[in-house]
Structure 1
Amino acid sequence: MTSIPPAADIVDALVPLPAGDPTHAVRHRRDKVVAATQGSDDAIFDPALAGPSLAERLLAAQLVARLAGATALQAHYRGRLLALPWLSAAQAAALDDPAPRLSGADARLQAILRFTRTLAERPVEGDKAALQRLPAAGLSTPEVIALAQLIAYVSFQLRMIAGLQAIAALGDDSGAAPAIDAPQQAFVHPAHLARPGEPVRVNGYTSETLDWKAWLPVLELEQATPQQLAVLDASHPKARSSDYYLLLVHQPRILEQRSIVFNAIMYAPGGLSRAERELASAVVSRVNGCVYCASVHAQRFEQLARRNDVIRQLFAEPRGAGTSARERAIVQASIDLTLDPAQFGAAQLQPLRAAGLSPLELLDLVHAVAIFAWANRLMLNLGEPVVPAL
């Protein structure tokens, strides 16, 4: 399989979704997600990026795809890698062996691939010690951020492709009664929503508000460029005081595109309700073991749905959680796409269709699950949650 030229829409090409296909039409109703997904790819794999070399980035990307069983995406990154003018012997060895035996001189590449494997397969194990092996191997903080964003992005990308393939395989639903979107309330950014009542605390998970502390140096605002300040302000109302954003803005172009993707997925009008998107986000975070993300999105679900019964179930045991057939279908599909995207197909979407989800709602669910494959890997592997002092 040949690789897709970087200028093309890679997701459309790899699903594949030709123009005129019903799933192509549904996907492009979320045009901001489409554009910023490709924008993220362009930023992360820009040859001029001041980060790991393009060969190192493509090796990490094809390893993420290989470990997930995403064969078309793996072939795509392999093709882009082989199109480079040259590869070192160590890089060539790593292309065909996900655990190559590298010499001491290749400690940098060994550290990159080790970190990649951990984030791709077991993100909850990406602790401070795992992260700090990268600076020890010679990677600067901006290089580490570029690598972490890349691994998380490809984890998102492969789940988006798997979900779109499943939607396409499910087929046209034109004979079913059209789903009617719930009335849309005026948009309020989650940073300004009222806080819920008593927090849920089960199995080490909580819906209370947590802080987050970075394990690498964050950007000092007085040293920020105008571009970095603009990206911070566009990303989140409180980004200038957040370790998370002040760390990610070491790579401002990548953060800019990632923030557009996130906001377009979580807050677009119509389609899946905002509460159900928050529920799916909380499910993925619970499955991946991300205490911080689970707390944020459990709280937001309660703010929007005005109840927390399903959150208590989810924190206790994700499988089977849900207070209705629709909720249970959303929870289970979120688990399936998170844990095994290579086996995700039309069968995993059938309960959602039976529960009345429209094609656009299915797409919104796939997007919510995929974006938290990205978000969890950043939160888990670049810092840690902090319980604020009372």
Structure 2
Amino acid sequence: MTDSPLSTDLVDACVPLAADSPVYAVRHQRDKVAVATQGSYAALFDPALSGPPLVERLLAAHAIARSAGSTALQAHYRAQLDALAPLSAAQQAAADGAAVESLAAFGEGPRLEAVLAFTRTLTDRPVEGDRAALLTLPAAGLTTAEVVALAQLIAFVAYQVRVVAGLQALAALGGDAVAPVAAEESAPFVHPANLPPPGEPLRINGFTSEVLGWKSWLPVLDLTQATAEQVRVLDTSHPKARSSDYYLLLVQQPRILQERATVFNAIMYAPGGLSRAERELASAVVSRINGCVYCASVHAQRFEQLARRNDVIAQVFTDPETAGTNARERAIVHLSIELTRDPAGFGAAQLLAARAAGLSNLEILDALHAVAIFAWANRLMLNLGEPVVGG
């Protein structure tokens, strides 16, 4: 492996993880995730990408890492900015999040101001990245392909921040000795009388488990104009990708979409480790916290299909802070909330309940990955379009 920043595993370097460490070993049990995470980074920061100029991408990434409190990633993106070109005092101030007046030093003040304003909104308050916020980007001169690349980059770095924070916490937790955990209850499950049976929609606090569609706010790809690469990526991404606004929008950056699909599938469907239903539970919790109605609906449905119950989903929709029908679910819910809200404050203490509830290092890693991938997924769904009733 070379010393190129695009080929050296950035997550391993930022945690940092030595090749002989237990957490390195467990991370690379999910090597497809690790490889596709690095592949996503390489695609998004490729100087040849037909997206925003590399300096804009690096400034956006630096702003996200800074806002999220990720010291290691902030240092990395700052070093990449410095390597690209020495920054003036005004440029350094802009990179460090100073007043937007200093952005004129880059020569494209209004455009860069729009890019960084959108970046800050998606980083800190993704639910506020509405149609009006998105359309500031085309108004500032970005093409649809550039907006797609920027949205993917912002969402990816939000994911990257949480993967690094989660692995740092797992390394600090230490060990992998899991004591047997006694069942909290031995009685058979009885579905709560106040809830509709699984398969019938829940509707609580603006969230639902009914089937929703999704409509893009930007022009989607005309299939008659698709390249061979775009068609290939669509056909390997999802069975209905050719008729989905989501995929027809994102495929305007096909390499990035391909890497993202690989990360997502490797996280959500890998055998062993955390159960599929528990991964769906973590995904629904993150979506509830971020206010992503579409993602919450999809993953509520999948949890119900796998677990054949909806009680914990109703709890998540009602009050995620108190959700969970047993210690294991409560630990997954709280881990998901804490890593979503405060990656900088996430440490070993936030994993103690998961360890006490019997989760192994691999199961904890799967939960951390599920949280992180929905930092990515929610930001795309919230900020590029909107849910619509009906699948």
Fold in common (TM above 0.5): yes
Shift of 1:196: 5.2
Shift of 1:89: 7.7
Q: Could you report, residue by residue, the CA deviation over 1:12-39 in whole angstroms, capped at 9, with x for unpaired residues?
A: 0000001010000000000100100000
Shift of 1:173: 2.2
Is the 1:4–1:10 Cα contact (8 Å) retained in structure 2?
no
Aligned twin of 2:71: 71
Q: Which runs of 5+ in 2 are unaligned?
A: 182-196
Aligned twin of 2:266: 264
Is the 1:266–1:274 Cα contact (8 Å) retained in structure 2?
yes
Is the 2:14–2:73 Cα contact (8 Å) retained in structure 1?
yes
Select between 93-102 and 201-210 the one with higher mean Cα deviation.
93-102
| Partner residue of 1:211 out of 197, 213, 217 | 213
SS of match in other structure, 1:322:
coil
Aligned twin of 1:360: 362
Aligned twin of 2:25: 25
SS of match in other structure, 1:299:
helix
Given the superposition, is the C-alpha separation of residues 87 and 253 from structure 1 closer, same or farther in structure 2, using an over 3 Å criterion? farther
Aligned twin of 1:304: 306
SS of match in other structure, 2:386:
strand
Aligned twin of 1:97: 97
CA distance in 2, matches of 1:97, 1:113: 9
- 1:154 and 2:149 correspond: no
CA distance in 1, matches of 2:262, 2:199: 30
Is the 2:173–2:351 Cα contact (8 Å) retained in structure 1?
yes
- 1:142 and 2:172 correspond: no
Is the 1:322–1:328 Cα contact (8 Å) retained in structure 2?
yes
Aligned twin of 2:113: 110
Is the 1:4–1:13 Cα contact (8 Å) retained in structure 2?
no
Aligned twin of 1:224: 226
CA distance in 2, matches of 1:105, 1:266: 40
Given the superposition, is the C-alpha separation of residues 199 and 147 from structure 1 closer, same or farther in structure 2, using an over 3 Å criterion? same
What letter corresponds to residue 231 of structure 2 in structure 1? L
CA distance in 2, matches of 1:105, 1:40: 27
CA distance in 1, matches of 2:125, 2:169: 24
Aligned twin of 1:190: none
Given the superposition, is the C-alpha separation of residues 236 and 99 from structure 1 closer, same or farther in structure 2, using an over 3 Å criterion? farther
CA distance in 1, matches of 2:213, 2:351: 35
Q: Which runs of 5+ in 1 are unaligned?
A: 179-194
CA distance in 2, matches of 1:247, 1:89: 38
Is the 1:55–1:87 Cα contact (8 Å) retained in structure 2?
no
Aligned twin of 2:325: 323
Shift of 1:286: 0.1
- 1:40 and 2:52 correspond: no
Is the 1:90–1:106 Cα contact (8 Å) retained in structure 2?
no
Shift of 1:144: 0.3
SS of match in other structure, 1:198:
coil
SS of match in other structure, 1:17:
coil
Shift of 1:177: 5.8
Aligned twin of 2:240: 238
CA distance in 2, matches of 1:267, 1:361: 13
- 1:375 and 2:377 correspond: yes
Aligned residues: 372
Shift of 1:223: 0.8
CA distance in 1, matches of 2:69, 2:306: 36
Shift of 1:169: 0.6
CA distance in 2, matches of 1:327, 1:317: 14
Q: Structure 1 vs Structure 2: percent identity of aligned residues?
A: 72
Aligned twin of 1:345: 347
Given the superposition, is the C-alpha separation of residues 159 and 98 from structure 1 closer, same or farther in structure 2, using an over 3 Å criterion? farther
CA distance in 2, matches of 1:147, 1:170: 35
Shift of 1:172: 1.0
Shift of 1:86: 5.4
What letter corresponds to residue 143 of structure 2 in structure 1? S
Given the superposition, is the C-alpha separation of residues 55 and 25 from structure 1 closer, same or farther in structure 2, using an over 3 Å criterion? same
What letter corresponds to residue 235 of structure 1 in structure 2? S
Given the superposition, is the C-alpha separation of residues 258 and 98 from structure 1 closer, same or farther in structure 2, using an over 3 Å criterion? farther
Q: Could you report, residue by residue, the CA deviation over 1:209-257 in whole angstroms, capped at 9, with x for unpaired residues?
A: 0000000000011111110111111111111111001100010000000
Aligned twin of 2:62: 62
- Structure 1 outlier segments of 4+, above 2 Å: 3-6, 85-93, 96-100, 102-105, 173-178
Is the 1:209–1:295 Cα contact (8 Å) retained in structure 2?
yes
Is the 1:19–1:25 Cα contact (8 Å) retained in structure 2?
yes
CA distance in 2, matches of 1:89, 1:149: 29
What letter corresponds to residue 320 of structure 2 in structure 1? P
Shift of 1:91: 4.2
Aligned twin of 1:388: 390
Shift of 1:7: 1.7
CA distance in 2, matches of 1:244, 1:89: 40
Is the 2:178–2:355 Cα contact (8 Å) retained in structure 1?
no
SS of match in other structure, 1:356:
coil
Shift of 1:175: 6.9
Is the 2:198–2:310 Cα contact (8 Å) retained in structure 1?
no
What letter corresponds to residue 12 of structure 1 in structure 2? D
SS of match in other structure, 2:321:
coil
Is the 1:325–1:355 Cα contact (8 Å) retained in structure 2?
yes
CA distance in 1, matches of 2:98, 2:281: 34
CA distance in 2, matches of 1:94, 1:199: 47
CA distance in 1, matches of 2:99, 2:337: 28
What letter corresponds to residue 130 of structure 1 in structure 2? A
CA RMSD in angstroms comes to 1.9
Aligned twin of 1:169: 172
